[in-house]
Amino acid sequence: MPSFTVDRMQSHEQPAVIAALARAFYDDPLFGFFVPNLVRQTKMAMSFMGAGVKDAAPFGETYLAHADGKVACAAVWLPPGTYPRGVRRDVQQYLRSAPTFVYCGRRVGRAFALLSAVDKAHHDEPEHWYLAILGTDPQFQRSGAGSAALAPVLERCDTEGMPAYLETQKEENLGYYARHRFDVVQKIEVKGCPPLWTLRRDPR
Instruction: Compute the distance between CA of residue 143 and CA of residue 46 in angstroms, rounded to an integer.
Output: 24
Q: Kindly report, residue by residue over 69-85, the tens digit of the pLDDT.
A: 999 999 999 999 999 89
The hierarchical CATH code for the domain 5-201 is 3.40.630.30
Q: Where are the domains of the chain?
A: 5-201
Q: Give the DSSP H/E element, type plus range, for residue 185.
A: strand 183-188
Q: Are 185 and 199 in contact (CB under 8 A)?
A: yes
Instruction: Compute the distance between CA of residue 22 and CA of residue 7 in angstroms, rounded to an integer.
Output: 20
Instruction: Compute the distance between CA of residue 45 and CA of residue 56 in angstroms, rounded to an integer.
Output: 17
Confidence of residue 27 (pLDDT cuts 50, 70, 90): confident
Instruction: Compute the distance between CA of residue 53 and CA of residue 96 in angstroms, rounded to an integer.
Output: 11
pTM above 0.75, yes or no: yes
